[in-house]
Amino acid sequence: MLEARGLTRRFGGVVAVDEVSLEVAEGELAGVIGPNGAGKSTLFHLITGHLRPDAGRILFGGRDITSLGPDRRARLGIAIAFQAVRLFRGMSVLENVMVGAHAWSRSGFWEAFFRLPRHRAEERRILDRARRALERVGLGDSADRPAESLPLGQQRIVQVARALCGEPRLLLLDEPASGLRAAERERLAQLLASLRGEGLTMLLIEHDVAFVTRLAERITVLDHGRVIARGPAAEIRDDPAVVAAYLGQARERASA
Amino acid sequence: MSELPAEPPPLWQRLLSRQALGGWVLAATAVVSLLAPLGLDDAQLTIYVFIGLYTMVVAGLSLLMGFAGQVSLGQAAFFTIGAYTAAILTRDAGMPSLLALAISTTATAGIAALVGLPLLRLRGHYLAFATLAFQLIVLSAISQVPQLTGGDTGLTAIPTLSLGPIALHGQFRTFIFAYVVWVLAAGVLVMNRNLVRSRPGRGLRALATSEVGALAAGVPVTRYKVQVFALSAGYAGLAGGVYAFFVGYIAPETFPVLLSVQFLIMAAVGGLGSVWGSVLGTAGVYLLIQVLDTVGTAPGLPASAPAIFSYAVYGLVLVAIMLYLPQGVLPAIQARLVGRRAVSAVEAERSTRAS
């Protein structure tokens, strides 16, 4: 469904992502792991469209989307949950989720000004799907609260609800578990597992190896911007190159 | 996880809820604005007309700044463009006034869209100064083409508003203008209200927080920013056109930079992003200016007194609002009436979490 071919991105002289290729099949929960500074976030932003690659192409459902902006990609069915929480201030949880419906809804300024029947029907559909998405992630009771009043773990889950409200074909998650407490992390893992059970295709980019190996079928490992290993979760965990990459970092940190 | 109590709030709170309060203000505004002209003399009606015109401009500015998070310090430029276009189309091209008004409004919005494409890449202070510069450019451009605009002397004898053979003249002219202006202002406010509560309105509010997040959710950020900029300019252009028909005389000095500052203060006083607040802010600040003018022109005071008074008070009002009521007057009242319970519940929860 998603295919990245030879993605490269440089910042000044630093090659953050170096000829990375990646494939996510329909219905799969694919994982990308790597130690800090491996280029995970850069790769993520290349796939979302917030960064443009210096080389390489991205295909989605066979279509070349390399030159499309993030809003166009969202309309094609790519939804995103960010690491740095980006809930919208001054809006309720429900309204935040409703924004996600931009991916499939169409009403513009004129329809809104005059409350045309088509627009009202669409508003009802948006509201309905947003409520369903919130129920789906278990936050139905918080619909009317100000979004910024939720704890971090729930804000991440609201992001997932916002993504679901857009009825995505592919959900991209950037370090969804970072900064969460154990209970919140557990809740998120269960949610992602059950979404996978419903057939949603996902790409999970994450620092926490245990979190990813538990959920993902196939894993790609990045280090210094390059793919150093890929394969089924069980094999990856014991791959010497992967262990060395993570251990190397631990050693550097210990000696620092 | 502790949740807020789910039982419905008591009746008085529901009647004072954000939506309901908007409805009350709407109803009260409608009644007052329909009845008020009956009891006003011509001088008061003129003030009334101006408040209505400025409300349209301020409503657009409030939408632009409060919802889309974009700052404009040059909103009077669009007022100017609307006024000049409407004046030239009727006075020199002989066009019927309503058609001229429609064209000038559309043209103003169109110009804003063109200017907005590059300008809206800027943010915050930069955007504010760029819009301010735009107004200065517009004013100096008007002075440069006297054949068309009358240069610094301006345009006189602009036709009045007319519908077919019926033109607004005579004894009831101001009276009828008052109704025309307030119907237009009401239309602008209702359009704003509808927009805010809709898909594009949510998209605008989202992009004010985070353009990256809004883009990722599928919000066409650039298009929305340009559209809302053009919309606010269109409101200003419409008001400017009616202004030209009403006053019958315009010149560059009619539209000083100070007018843009006035609009900004009105929007801030009413509450940026508060649809109904723009009526309150406009009326409050405009009436204050009238009072100051009266005081400033009292016998025995120097000729510069009115200007000094108004500058000083603009400054004071703006500082006071930013210090004490940063969200604006109407939202602050709403928060006092409605929000206390909800806010304190949220804060209580936050503090228990932090401890």
Judge: A102–B217 Cβ closer than 8 Å, yes or no. yes
Q: How confident is the model at residue B22, as a pLDDT?
A: 65
Confidence of residue A253 (pLDDT cuts 50, 70, 90): low
Neighbour-count burial of A47, counting CB atoms closer than 10 A to its CB (0-12 exposed, 13-18 middle, 19+ buried): buried
B4, part of any domain: no
Does B131 reside within a domain? yes
> B94 with B35: CB under 8 angstroms?
no
Residue B131, pLDDT > 70, answer yes
Residue B39: per-residue pLDDT: 86
With CA atoms as reference, report the closest residue to A147 among A101, A181, A100, A96: A96
Do B217 and A74 lie within an 8 Å CB cutoff? yes
Whether residue A45 is predicted with pLDDT greater than 90 in this model: the reply is yes
In the A/B pair of chains, how many CB contacts fall below 8 A?
113
Say if residue B251 is exposed, middle or buried (CB neighbours under 10 Å; 0-12, 13-18, 19+).
Answer: middle
- Mean pLDDT to the nearest integer, A46-62: 95
CATH number assigned to the domain comprising residue B108:
1.10.3470
- Token digits for B247? 């006053």
Q: Say if residue B343's pLDDT is above 60.
A: no
Distance of CA A4 to the CA centre of its chain: 15
pLDDT in tens, B182-206: 999 999 999 999 999 899 999 999 9
Give the ipTM of the model, two decimals please.
Answer: 0.90
Residue B166 forms part of a structural domain: yes
* Cα distances (Å, whole numbers) of residue B335 to A126, B13, B28, B65: 28, 11, 20, 20
CA of B318 vs chain A CAs: smallest distance (Å): 23
**Does residue A252 surpass a pLDDT of 80?**
no
Q: How many domains does chain B have?
A: 1
Note which residues in 225-284 of chain B have CB less than 8 A from chain A: 227, 231
| B5 domain-assigned | no
Is B2 within the bounds of a domain? no
Angle at the Cα of B219 from the Cα atoms of B198 and B69, rounded to 5 degrees: 75
Q: Which range has the worst mean pLDDT, A153-167, B157-171, B334-348?
A: B334-348
Banded pLDDT at B11 (limits 50, 70, 90): low
Q: What's residue B4's pLDDT?
A: 47
- The pLDDT of residue A93: 96
CA atoms of B307 and A33, how far apart (whole Å): 66
Residue of A nearest to B67 (CA): A90
8 Å CB contact of A113 and B1: no
On the question of pLDDT at B346 being above 50, the answer is no
A168 neighbors A60 (Cβ within 8 angstroms): no
Q: What does each C-alpha distance from A135 to A158, A164, A195 come to in angstroms?
A: 11, 11, 13
Closest Cα partner for B89 from B79, B80, B102? B102
Instruction: Report residue B289's pLDDT band, with 50, 70 and 90 as the boundaries.
Output: confident
Domains of chain A: 1-77+169-256 (3.40.50.300), 91-165 (no CATH)
- Which residue of A112, A145, A166 is in closest CB contact with B195? A112
B71's CB contacts (< 8 A; 6+ apart) are: B65, B124, B125, B127, B128, B131
Measured between CA atoms, the residue of chain B closest to residue A122 is B199
Task: Examine residue B104 and state whether it is found in any structural domain, yes or no.
Answer: yes
Residues from chain B contacting residue A93 (CB–CB below 8 Å): none
Least confident range of A58-72, B305-319, B341-355: B341-355
Residue B125's CB: how many other CB atoms inside 10 A?
10
Pairing of strands A55-60, A78-81: unpaired
Q: Is the pLDDT of residue B342 over 50?
A: no
| Interface probe, candidates B215, B225, B232, chain A, greatest A C-beta count within 10 A | B215
DSSP B165-192: TEE--STTHHHHHHHHHHHHHHHHHHHH
* Mean pLDDT, residues A227-249 taken together: 85
Does B96 map to a domain?
yes
pLDDT at A69 over 50: yes
- Contact B353/A89, CB-based, under 8 Å? no
* Interface probe, candidates B191, B196, B202, B338, chain A, greatest A C-beta count within 10 A: B202
- Relative to beta strand A55-60, strand A63-64 is antiparallel
Q: Mean pLDDT in chain B? A: 85
**Least confident interval from A46-55, B79-88, B272-281:** B272-281
Residue A248's pLDDT is 73
Tens digit of pLDDT for each residue in A137-168?
999 999 999 998 999 889 999 999 999 999 99
Which stretches does DSSP call E strand in chain A?
A: 2-11, 14-24, 29-33, 55-60, 63-64, 78-81, 170-174, 201-206, 218-223, 226-232
Rounded distance between C-alpha atoms, residue B133 and residue B340, angstroms: 42
Using a CB–CB cutoff of 8 Å, tell me whether B221 touches chain A: yes
Check whether B306 has a pLDDT greater than 60. yes
Which range marks the domain in which residue B43 is found? 11-354
Specify if B3 maps to a domain.
no
Query: Phi, psi at residue A8, to the nearest 5°?
Result: -135, 135
How close are the terminal C-alpha atoms of chain B, in Å? 16
Is residue B19 within 8 angstroms of chain A, CB to CB? no
Which among A98, A112, A141 has CB closest to B6? A141
The mean per-residue pLDDT over the stretch A194-210 comes to: 93
pLDDT in the model for residue B351: 45
A255 pLDDT tier (thresholds 50, 70, 90): low
> Does the pLDDT of residue B145 top 60, yes or no?
yes
- Residue B213 to residue A142, Cβ atoms within 8 A: no
